[in-house]
Chain A
Amino acid sequence: AQKITQTQPGMFVQEKEAVTLDCTYDTSDPSYGLFWYKQPSSGEMIFLIYQGSYDQQNATEGRYSLNFQKARKSANLVISASQLGDSAMYFCAMSGGYNKLIFGAGTRLAVHP
C-alpha cells in the first residue's frame, strides 16, 4: 500500500531564511508522482510543485524546490527566502492510478518577522 509520512507537525522559520519540510513515501509502484500543496487558512489547496518518479532532475518552481532522493524514498520541500505569506499548512502527496492522491498529515509552517 502507498503511504506518505510527514513527521513535522509544526515548523518555525525566520523571514528571509530557508526552510525544509520533510516527506517520506512508500510505494511498490515503479511509476508515481509526488506533489506538494499549500493550504492557507482559507482552505483552498494551492499546487506548488511536482516530481515524477522518472524525472532525473529535482523539480524547481520559483522559491520552491523538491529535494528528491529516490533511494531513500524522500521528497522534501525546500522554501528559500521565506515570506510572511508562506505561513500555511503544507501537504505532501503521492499519486496513484486515476490521479488519486494519498496525502501526508501535513506540516504547519509559521514564518516569523
Chain B
Amino acid sequence: DVKVTQSSRYLVKRTGEKVFLECVQDMDHENMFWYRQDPGLGLRLIYFSYDVKMKEKGDIPEGYSVSREKKERFSLILESASTNQTSMYLCASSWDSGNTIYFGEGSWLTVV
C-alpha cells in the first residue's frame, strides 16, 4: 500500500517560531508537493519538487521554504511563523508518468 506520511497531524506554534512539517513517501516517487488548504480557497500549491535537491515555487511560496535532501522526504519550513499561516497543510507525491497522486492525511497548524 502506498503511503504518504506527514509527521504531525496537529501542531500549535508561537508567532516567530521556526516550524518544520515533514512528509515521507515510500513509493520512490519523483514528484512531491506541499499544498495549503483554506476555507473557500481550496488547495493552493506552495512548493513542489521533481527530484532530489530540486524545487520550484508554486502559487503561494511567500513565507515558506522547502528541503528535499533525500528522494523520500520533502520538508516544508516556516522560517518565522505568523498567524496568517494558520491552516491545513497537505503533502502529496506522484511518479513523473501516470496520473495517480497520493496525499498525506494533512497537518493542522495553528500559530498563536
Contact = CB atoms under 8 A, between A and B. Distances in A.
Interface in B24-69: 31, 33, 35, 40-45, 48, 50, 56, 58
Question: Interface extent on A, as a size class?
Answer: 20 to 34
Interface residues of B, number: 26
A101 interface: yes
A52 B99 CA distance: 9
A106 B50 contact: no
A112 to B, nearest CB: 22
Contacts of A12: none
Nearest to B38: A105
Contacts of A104: 42
A91 interface: yes
B88 to A, nearest CB: 7
A14 B31 CA distance: 40
Interface string B80-107: 0000000010101010100111011110
In the A-B complex, list the 8 residue pairs whose CB atoms are closest, starting with the nearest.
A103-B42, A45-B103, A43-B106, A103-B43, A99-B94, A105-B42, A44-B105, A98-B50
18 contacts: A43-B106, A44-B105, A45-B90, A45-B103, A50-B99, A91-B42, A95-B99, A95-B101, A98-B96, A99-B31, A99-B101, A100-B45, A100-B58, A102-B45, A103-B43, A104-B42, A105-B41, A105-B42
